[in-house]
Chain A
């Protein structure tokens, strides 16, 4: 069984057959739709959000059909798949010897992790060359915003550069020491600097004799681990912390949702926003769900009566399901799909 199959089994297990294959695909490729965001939260698999951005659909389907042939999953009536008992066994025994990366947190860091990695890797490369008095190299990132950021934060004198590099080495070593040796090693080999260009994901995978997907996921988990550590211990890693700067405050909302949020904050109702933005009501409702997931201080009481919220929560618990249709039946159609979705997301059952 390949690593990617394990990831799929894990997701199918969590989805409990309640979501289609498209939902799996959107989760792994990080589609920023309210439904995907909601799925990640509801089924507690947000850590996989966007961890295989370049996955192609055909490859996914290929793996799914081989899992099915092996009897590890079976299709159900929701166009989804359920894990079988032998599938669960296979998953459990694999994870016992090779647990999923502890720090993987796709949803939490998807907005910042790419940017963070690019800043960090260009910063390391620039330091590595400059402390040896060599400033002519091809920058590892062509993105101008990244280059400008590094330029702006780069120490001015050679002495300072040597000190910053030394301190950055200490900071990175402290964190990497807490991670599996193999993950730390891949991370370091992906960095570029004097005397060596970083390795590609395929090259790292060959070197470690693991699959492309596993390599890609493990590398991301290291970045997530750094981000997590730095958020909690910024005093101990000031240089690494400085590279998040300017991105932390921003809410992880899609652009259109941000506009809706602004209008809500200015006191408009859903109907007014629908009218003003000339969007469908369902679209605005999707935005609200997204806001409910991402903005802790956002109260849904104005949209769902507190008593309704309590009924819905209870219903979900009673029937042990997050399927909107089942819950709606259980509460005898008293509440709309929108009210149920919003409640489930806010609570994050």
Chain B
């Protein structure tokens, strides 16, 4: 069956987008493929469609549990039953049951961490994987914006699984990150598909303020005036909560979203947003990955992201319906320090490294499960990212081998780890300075962004504040600010509405 027929039959689309077709034919020809597609361009289709052309089972390595779950839900909604996600949240017994029957599944989603689990690894080794997909492949590179150490082991794992063809997918990767990905995954003679990161329907506005107060004033005004739905990004939970409260008080349907909230409440907020019951989300960067909402009209950054790639990914959540949208970045001089402290929080400090090394040197021979090892950082009050980083160093130096602590010399190892950490910190700083320099340039914003990805400028109509922008175009109507009448309703009436079919629904004439 021609690819376009499969596309229509299983996904309901008549046409491919953004070079999907070329990518898929390369995958079907069993080539290693590297594909960079802009956010919202339908990356998952590039490995889902090959299944309908006979490629199975497909292993998908994905960095985020929520992302994985969304994909699984989506495939199931398409009627595909043989889908499974293996991650640390699965109960042990259930996981063992699944592993026994692993050959039943066609789509197997895994986190890079779970691949380190011996049971999972052995079970995957036994089935004949026909395609290995590495989603968010930029995570493999130290230069990528959310580097994950377990991604580095994927090259080896691929070989152990009989070297199936690989499909590396990412939305944002600069030249050096791309090279890193190809190298780390040992991709041979890969087909490379790089599409522009430009999103022509998103206008870009940079706006510098002299004080925090002025910036707060500005974000409020934008949030009240711009046409929703929209997302406002903050660097901390506290700020997200504070602004969400302030905007609700002004009558805009608004809620905060961050990792400090209960799982159930997070899901409710997501769904309220998806169902257009909320017009603005005030969020930390926890929100967005895997959110498939096509009509987001604006993204505002109240705090800066730490890299240009994160920036593109975050503004890329706007305008997936290809309609006109806007990204506004608000900043002050002081904002510079935020990413600096963020970078520090993601790396272990000298004292902390010392403490861990001393502790480990006193417990040579201790063995861990991967689960325990992942959480061992809690004992030393490490942030998750900092612990992952240190663990990677410990394994690299052979201090931890096969999850067992080996004998080692504390002083020399300490020096090596500190040197590596310092280098890593500098690399991160460079990334931040690259973003920051963009803010200060006196030229077209789009041109500046694209240059940083080695692309030349794309001329678009509603471009940026440098080229000239009419904000009126992005404003909503005056009616969006009706302070909603209190939600308090008669619960009996509401319960009845939820669970009974009224006469009107049967097509009878309403009497009242």
Contacts and interface: CB of A to CB of B under 8 A. Distances in A.
A132 B274 CA distance: 20
Interface in A201-222: 201-203, 206-208
Interface stretch (B214-222, B456-464, B494-502): B494-502
B344 to A, nearest CB: 22
Contact of B495 (A139, A173, A202, A208): A173
B491 A184 contact: yes
A94 interface: no
Given A185-B488, A189-B494, A138 B501 contact: no
Contact of B491 (A176, A200, A202, A208): A176
A172 interface: yes
Interface string B85-107: 00000000000000000000000
A169 B500 contact: yes
B272 interface: yes
A127 B262 contact: no
Interface stretch (A63-71, A190-198, A296-304): A190-198
B46 to A, nearest CB: 24
Contacts of A185: 488-491
A142 interface: yes
Given A142-B69, A197-B277, A172 B495 contact: yes
Query: Which of A131, A173, A200, A203 counts the most chain B CB atoms within 10 A?
Result: A200
B499 A128 contact: yes
A169 B261 CA distance: 30
Chain A at the B interface: mostly helix, strand, loop or mixed?
Answer: helix
B265 A193 contact: no
A206 B247 CA distance: 14
B277 A207 contact: no
B486 interface: yes
B177 to A, nearest CB: 31
B508 to A, nearest CB: 15
Contact of B271 (A176, A187, A192): A192
A124 interface: yes
Nearest to B69: A142
Interface string A161-172: 010011011001
Interface in B117-154: none
B55 interface: no
B269 interface: yes
B271 A169 contact: no
B499 A124 contact: yes
Given A176-B491, A185-B491, A194 B498 contact: yes
A343 to B, nearest CB: 35
A169 B495 contact: yes
B79 interface: no
B487 interface: yes
B255 A203 contact: yes
A193 B268 contact: no
B73 interface: yes
B491 A142 contact: no
A189 B500 contact: no
B267 interface: yes
B505 interface: yes
A71 B498 CA distance: 48
B271 A131 contact: no
Interface in A119-178: 124, 127-128, 131-132, 136, 138-140, 142, 162, 165-166, 168-169, 172-173, 176
A166 B499 contact: yes
B271 A191 contact: no
B269 A195 contact: no
Contacts of A54: 262
A284 B271 CA distance: 46
Interface in B257-315: 261-262, 264-265, 267-269, 271-272, 274-275, 277
Contact of A197 (B271, B491, B494, B496): B271
Nearest to A176: B491
Contacts of A128: 498-499
B111 to A, nearest CB: 16
A170 to B, nearest CB: 9
A166 B498 CA distance: 10
B492 interface: yes
A132 B505 contact: yes
Contacts of B77: 136
Contacts of A196: 277, 498
Contacts of B498: 124, 128, 169, 188, 191, 193-194, 196
A181 B277 CA distance: 25
B268 A192 contact: yes
Query: Which of A136, A203, A206 counts the most chain B CB atoms within 10 A?
Result: A203
Contact of A140 (B267, B269, B487): B267
A185 B269 CA distance: 19
A192 B499 CA distance: 11
Contacts of B491: 176, 181, 184-185, 187-189
Contacts of B501: 131-132, 162, 165
A173 B268 CA distance: 24
Contacts of A198: 268
Nearest to B260: A54
A136 B79 CA distance: 12
6 contacts: A188-B494, A197-B272, A198-B268, A201-B262, A202-B256, A207-B488
Given A192-B271, A197-B277, 4 more contacts: A128-B498, A169-B496, A202-B255, A207-B486
